[in-house]
Amino acid sequence: MPPPPQMQGVPGGEPTVFQKIKMGAMTGTLVGLTIGFIGGSIQILRAGPGPRGALGTLSQFMLSSAATFGFFMSIGTVLRTEGIEANPYLTPAQRIVALKQQQDLMRAATQRKVEIETNN
């Protein structure tokens, strides 16, 4: 069973494209930093720190890996996430229920009958 739609952006709606790009970029950047740290550490141990020194070499590995992973993950996250209508794993009955819930939430939000909780 798929997860329910998240309450980000519009109440009852899915995350916006910008929120998806941000989430993918953050995830990719963290993965890239980790991979860059591991790869850079192995390279420093194998070939020495080089003319930039150990910290300079390690930071170059980490930043280039983070930028690459972050860029591609942000694009991939947007391409991979689709709306309820396009989910191939929903049965027709589940699709109808999910769309009805989404419509009800949107109707309640436009009529101001939904309270939005904040994390303050």
pTM of the model: 0.59
In a domain, 88, yes or no: no
What single string gives the DSSP state of each residue in 13-52? SPPPHHHHHHHHHHHHHHHHHHHHHHHHHHHHHHH---TT
Answer whether residue 30 is part of any domain: yes
> Is residue 120 in some structural domain?
no
- The residue that leads in pLDDT, 88 or 75, is 75
Compute CA distances 87 → 11, 29, 36, 94, 96, whole Å: 20, 27, 35, 10, 12
Domain count for the chain, please give it: 1
Query: Can you give the residue range of the structural domain that contains 66?
Result: 17-83
Q: What percent of the chain has pLDDT over 90?
A: 39
Distance of CA 38 to the CA centre of its chain: 23
pLDDT tens, residue by residue, 35-81: 999 999 999 999 998 899 999 999 999 999 999 999 999 998 887 77
Q: What is the pLDDT of residue 91?
A: 76
Q: What is the per-residue pLDDT for 66?
A: 96
User: What letters, b where the CB count within 10 A reaches 16 and e where it falls short, cover 49-72?
Assistant: eeeeeeeebbeebbeebbbebbee
Q: What would the pLDDT profile of 74-84 be if each residue is shown by its tens digit? A: 998 887 776 66
